[in-house]
Amino acid sequence: MKIIFMSLMFLGLNVESKTFSIMSYNLENFFDTTHDENKEDYTYLPLKVKKRSRIVREYCEGLSNSFYRKNCLTFDWNNSVYHSKIKNIAKVILSYNKGRGPDIVVLQEIENKNSLKDLITKGLNKKSGYRYISLIEGPDRRGIDVAIFSRYKIVSNVYHKVDISQYSRRPTRGILETNLNIGGKLVTVFANHWPSQNNDDLTRLKAAKTLLKAVESKSKSAVIIAAGDFNTVKDDEINGLTEHIIPNFYDVEVKGRKLSRYKETLKGGTHFYKGNWGSLDKIFVYKKSGRFKVHYRDFNILSHAFMLTDVEWEDRSTGKVTVYKDVPYRFDPKTRKGFSDHLPLVIKIQI
How would residue 345 be classed by pLDDT, with cut points 50, 70 and 90? very high
- In this structure, are residues 151 and 131 in contact, taking their beta carbons and an 8 Å threshold? yes
338 within domain boundaries: yes
Q: pLDDT of 199-223, one tens digit each? A: 999 999 999 999 999 999 998 899 9
Q: pLDDT of 2-19, one tens digit each? A: 333 333 333 333 457 899
Per-residue model confidence (pLDDT) at position 6: 34
13 within domain boundaries: no
User: What CATH number is associated with residue 249?
Assistant: 3.60.10.10
Per-residue model confidence (pLDDT) at position 314: 82
Residue 1 confidence (pLDDT) above 60: no
Total tally of structural domains belonging to the chain: 1
334 within domain boundaries: yes
12 within domain boundaries: no
Give the burial string for 233-247 (b: 16+ CB within 10 Å, else e). beebeebbbeebbbe
Share of the chain residues as helix, strand and coil, in percent rounded to the nearest 5: 30, 30, 40
Q: Which domain holds residue 256?
A: 20-32+85-350
CB atoms within 10 A of CB 276: 11
Distance of CA 176 to the CA centre of its chain: 12
Mean pLDDT score across all residues of the chain: 93
Per-residue model confidence (pLDDT) at position 172: 97
Its pTM stands at: 0.94
**For the chain, what percent of residues have pLDDT higher than 70?**
96
Q: pLDDT of 114-162, one tens digit each? A: 999 999 999 997 778 999 999 999 999 999 999 999 999 999 999 999 9
313 within domain boundaries: yes
179 within domain boundaries: yes
Residue 311 confidence (pLDDT) above 60: yes
288 within domain boundaries: yes
170 within domain boundaries: yes
